[in-house]
Amino acid sequence: MMVMREMKGVCFLFSETGTEGGWWAMQEDGFVAEDGHWKYEGLRYLQEEDDLTVYGDDGSELFHGTIHQDTRTGTIPRQVLRDGEWENHATWKQQVVGGMWVHWIQKGIDPEAWGQLFIGNKRCLVRRKEDNKDGTTRRGL
């Protein structure tokens, strides 16, 4: 049976060593350590077909739509060091938003405008379809 899971939190660009670029994500409410830092258990990468709403500080709706990942628009070659010289890699290309490598952008939206939605920990709501055969809710990324 397909169920719709709602997750409220803040949206941001998640990146750390080894991610080889940023992932559009949200930190779900309720996953904060005693010291105030976010817990990994609350990290949710945005996924294809997620229904995303992003809100401004005044509660206005800045974006509402279904996630459609575009991995091709605006790709540029990664630079590699060969024989002491930087050169463009022949096949390794990636998108850049706000000067940061990212793994995808939202289809049909200016990449920089999309990136602005993830600055400043704006409130967001993600609705995700999940297969719920056993009556439990999956909490995966």
What does the pLDDT look like over 39-62, one tens digit per residue? 999 999 999 999 999 999 999 999
What does the pLDDT look like over 56-94, one tens digit per residue? 999 999 999 999 999 999 898 888 899 999 999 888 889
Q: Which amino acid is at 89?
A: H
**pLDDT at 2 exceeding the cut of 80:** yes
Share of the chain above pLDDT 90, in %: 79
- C-alpha count within 13 angstroms, C-beta hemisphere, residue 118: 24
Question: Which pTM was predicted?
Answer: 0.85
Q: Give the model's pLDDT for residue 131.
A: 82
3-state secondary structure of 5: strand
For residue 6, report the phi and psi dihedrals to the nearest 5 degrees.
Answer: -105, 130
Q: Give the model's pLDDT for residue 64.
A: 98
| Partners of 22 in beta bridges | 102
Q: Give the model's pLDDT for residue 90.
A: 87
